[in-house]
Amino acid sequence: MSRHEPDLVAVRELPPGRREPTAESVARTWHAISRHRVAVHPVRRTRWLAPVAAAATVVALAVGGAVVLAPGRPTPVPAAPNPQEVMARLIEQAGHVPAEPVPPGMLLYRRSEGPEGWQEVRETWFDGQTALPLRLRVDGVDRPVDAPYPPGSTAEENRRVAAAGGSWYFPTPRWLADLPTDPAVLRARLDEEIGSYTGPGPVDPEAHLTNHLLTTFATAEPRLSPQARVAFYEVIADLDGLVAREVVVDGHRYQAVGQREPAGELLTALLFDPASGRVVGEYHEYAERGARVPSTPARFPPGTAGASSYLLWTFAVVPGTDQPG
């Protein structure tokens, strides 16, 4: 929008006796500003498969029903959008989101980034055919990739799982291709796979399925077919106890949909980009100031109970572990 727009010029040059613009001028100016705001945020189609907003904000603030991440502010409980309405819109979009396959010999790169000073910048290179991590870099420093993943497993066990076709933890191309597109059948398969892994303790798939799906989407997201994406979103929409938030990070609006952990203290949600229909990260929120989160203490710094945080993902298909970083 040009500063020479006639209505803006008219407002600036109002004579001394006429200090208020007319209602007609205000309306025209508002519509011009609205058109400008839409125009300056085009959706870019590149080999980068999900946007990352600059991570300069840290604590959630409820403003107009949205969670706005802003530095150094307390966190009131935000007004919540209706999760079923949010998922209905995302389901409608899901059938039009194209898959981005990883060809043989190529790798899937993921960068995870959250609020500056709160979250590490984690870069992971995954084998495109096994979904196993080949390289992990945290804040620019390489870390071992053979650590137990998931907890309680071994690298050898993980390789066997991937060779056998993959799983919700290691969504190989074969596993993704075999996914049922009927949401009821997909839900039954997820319950069986997740329920068969107990790790350090029993897992109830119904209790916080969105928490487990974060693991799947963290490597499968760009490779999901439109049909599989629709089925996943329909499974999420049918979950009990769904909670939704509108999350604003540096002016970008996202929709968080998830479930509280069984103790009710921590909300773990998938973070959706309503513009693209993709899952672009994860969102976490304490239920109450002073709440204790025993399962994920590292996600928030000490003394920040009542706060919210997020991770945004960026994906790219790359030829080797030396790219793009």
pLDDT value of position 183: 97
Q: Are residues 168 and 308 in the same domain?
A: yes
Identify whether 52 is part of a domain: no
DSSP string, 124-158: EEEETTT--EEEEEETTEEE-S-S-SSTT--HHHH
Identify whether 49 is part of a domain: no
Structural domain range at position 171: 59-318
C-alpha torsion sign, points 288, 293, 299, 301: positive
Q: Are residues 190 and 270 in the same domain?
A: yes
Q: Is 232 helix (H, G, I), strand (E, B) or coil?
A: helix
Q: From first to last of the 325 residues of the chain, give the pLDDT tens digit.
A: 444 555 544 444 544 444 444 444 434 443 443 333 333 233 222 234 433 333 322 333 333 334 444 333 333 345 578 999 999 999 999 999 999 999 999 999 999 998 877 678 999 999 999 999 999 999 999 998 865 555 556 778 888 888 899 999 899 999 999 999 999 999 999 988 887 764 545 555 566 688 889 999 999 999 999 999 999 999 999 998 899 999 988 889 999 999 887 666 788 899 999 999 999 999 988 765 444 443 333 444 444 445 788 999 999 999 999 988 5
State how far the Cα of 58 lies from the Cα of 249, in Å rounded to an integer. Answer: 9
Identify whether 47 is part of a domain: no
Q: What is the pTM of this model?
A: 0.72
Q: Are residues 165 and 281 in the same domain?
A: yes
SS3 sequence of 160-226: HHHHCCCCCCCCCHHHHHCCCCCHHHHHHHHHHHHHHCCCCCCCCCCCCHHHHHHHHHHHHHHHCCH
Q: Are residues 69 and 109 in the same domain?
A: yes
Q: Among all chains, which residue has been given the structure tokens 């059938």?
A: 95
Cβ partners under 8 Å of residue 244, min gap 6: 80, 81, 82, 83, 86, 255, 256, 257, 269
Q: Are residues 170 and 314 in the same domain?
A: yes
Q: Are residues 147 and 265 in the same domain?
A: yes
Identify whether 324 is part of a domain: no
Identify whether 149 is part of a domain: yes
State how far the Cα of 211 lies from the Cα of 254, in Å rounded to an integer. Answer: 18
Q: Are residues 313 and 282 in the same domain?
A: yes
The number of folded domains in the chain is 2
State how far the Cα of 8 lies from the Cα of 11, in Å rounded to an integer. Answer: 5
Q: Are residues 26 and 95 in the same domain?
A: no
Q: Are residues 120 and 157 in the same domain?
A: yes
Q: Are residues 217 and 283 in the same domain?
A: yes
Phi, psi of 145 (to 5 degrees): -105, 0
Q: Are residues 67 and 111 in the same domain?
A: yes
Q: Are residues 234 and 131 in the same domain?
A: yes
Identify whether 191 is part of a domain: yes
Identify whether 112 is part of a domain: yes
Identify whether 323 is part of a domain: no
Cβ partners under 8 Å of residue 184, min gap 6: none
